[in-house]
Amino acid sequence: MAVEEISKIRADLAKLVDRNNRLSEKAAREFALKKGIDIKDAIELKGDLKLINELYRFIDKYTSIQKNKSIPSNVKFEKINANGVPAEWIITPNAKNKQIIFYLYSGGFMWGSLETRRFIPYLLGRATKLRCLNIGYRLAPEHPFPAALEDSVNAYKWLLSTGINSNNIIIAGSSAGGGLSIATMLKLRDLGFQLPTAAVLLSPWVDLTCEGESLKTNAKFSPFGPILVKIMAKTYLNKEKSTNPFASPVFANLKGLPPLLIQAGSIEILLDDSISLASKAKSAGVSVDLEIWKGMIHVFHNFGDDLSDSKNALKNISKFIQKNII
């Protein structure tokens, strides 16, 4: 996000965005020095796609490690094998054993790992006093569609096989993980499995045609622009059609899905995805709570306790889960 655009958003958010930008720039400089390249070309998405992907994965890992340092030492992390899918229990103090949050993380289907995506499931677990199962699904370009979906479905089947009842499972996801959460439920529905009791979707990416108007109108408020979004969609889809409902759930028949809570920022680049998903779900008879947080950007929950809106959004998530858990 450019400096001139930061000045146009709320002061407390602008300060946090600037802090993140500085950290990302530091990571980019370290990557450029290590590789002996002109970092400007890579950041502007020019040249070798493989190198660009390597750069953004480096930045993602670098910044996430810094963020994870704020997670208290009394939070437990337990790696497991969930039916061939790497996963990790994230257990906050006083977490209940009966109910589970099944979490699918962000990263445009290209970035992220169990280690770099601990922060939001930690926040969710702390707010709800539930255990979180963080799913390490495979990423593109090494593993394009439908690898991520296969992994999430297999991990969910494993969870059921442990004796956890679907009525005690909340599925949650942010950005790409939000779209994957919907796709996972659609596949489970079609296979005849019991669905989670509810879903929490943070700035979900559900339309890989990349035709939402907010991709253009809100691009100035995002650290990633329409070009990068389209690159991520193309990379994940590989040769699959962008309207495949298991890749772009906004084109699916959503009948039979459990209650949804969708949270998005009013100035985020994927705002139209959330609005379209809510509309499509309501038309299919699904109970939907759509919260559009004024002046907030994509997955603003990442700011945790440093941002009042993040804290309040997490409180709303806890209330939603308490209302829907059986």
Structure tokens that stand for 184 in this block: 């996972």
- Render pLDDT for 290-325 as a digit per residue (tens, 0 to 9): 999 999 999 999 999 999 999 999 999 999 999 998
At residue 46, the pLDDT reads 59
Query: How far is it, in rounded angstroms, from Cα 174 to Cα 159?
Result: 20
Give 219's pLDDT tier (boundaries 50, 70, 90): confident
At residue 3, the pLDDT reads 46
At residue 223, the pLDDT reads 76
Residue 1 has pLDDT above 90, yes or no: no
**Contact by Cβ (8 Å): 171, 317:** no
- Render pLDDT for 129-186 as a digit per residue (tens, 0 to 9): 999 999 999 999 999 999 999 999 999 999 999 999 999 999 999 999 999 999 999 9
* Residue 291 annotated to the active site: no
Of 320 and 37, the structure prediction assigns the larger pLDDT to 320
At residue 43, the pLDDT reads 61
DSSP string, 216-275: HHTGGGSSS-HHHHHHHHHHHHTTS-TT-TTTSGGGS--TT---EEEEEETT-TTHHHHH
At residue 180, the pLDDT reads 98
Which candidate in 181, 298, 301, 310 is catalytic? 298
Query: How far is it, in rounded angstroms, from Cα 301 to Cα 264?
Result: 10
- What's the distance, CA 219 to chain centroid? 18
Q: What is the mean pLDDT of residues 251-269?
A: 97
Residue 285 has pLDDT above 60, yes or no: yes
Structure tokens that stand for 210 in this block: 């990349």
Q: Which of 5-9, 108-112, 180-184, 246-250 has the lowest mean pLDDT?
A: 5-9
At residue 97, the pLDDT reads 85
* Residue 279 annotated to the active site: no
At residue 225, the pLDDT reads 82
Output the CA–CA distances (angstroms, integers) from residue 245 to 32, 179, 215, 300, 315, in the order listed: 38, 10, 20, 26, 31
Query: How far is it, in rounded angstroms, from Cα 40 to Cα 277?
Result: 36
If you classify domain 76-324 with CATH, what class do you get? alpha beta
Domain(s) labelled CATH 3.40.50.1820 in the chain stretch across 76-324
Which candidate in 113, 166, 175, 181 is catalytic? 175
Phi, psi dihedrals of residue 132, rounded to the nearest 5°: -115, 135
At residue 6, the pLDDT reads 54
Of 233 and 228, the structure prediction assigns the larger pLDDT to 233
Phi-psi region of 112 (alpha: psi -120 to 50; beta: other; left: phi over 0): left
- Render pLDDT for 55-79 as a digit per residue (tens, 0 to 9): 889 999 999 989 999 999 999 999 9
Q: What is the mean pLDDT of residues 250-270?
A: 97
At residue 44, the pLDDT reads 63
- Render pLDDT for 93-116 as a digit per residue (tens, 0 to 9): 999 888 999 999 999 999 999 999
**Contact by Cβ (8 Å): 111, 57:** yes
Residue 247 has pLDDT above 90, yes or no: yes
Of 19 and 49, the structure prediction assigns the larger pLDDT to 19
DSSP string, 53-93: HHHHHHHHHHHHHHHHTTS-TT-EEEEEEETTEEEEEEE-T
Of 2 and 69, the structure prediction assigns the larger pLDDT to 69
Which candidate in 268, 274, 301, 310 is catalytic? 268
* Residue 266 annotated to the active site: no
Residue 196 has pLDDT above 60, yes or no: yes
300 strand-pairing partners: none
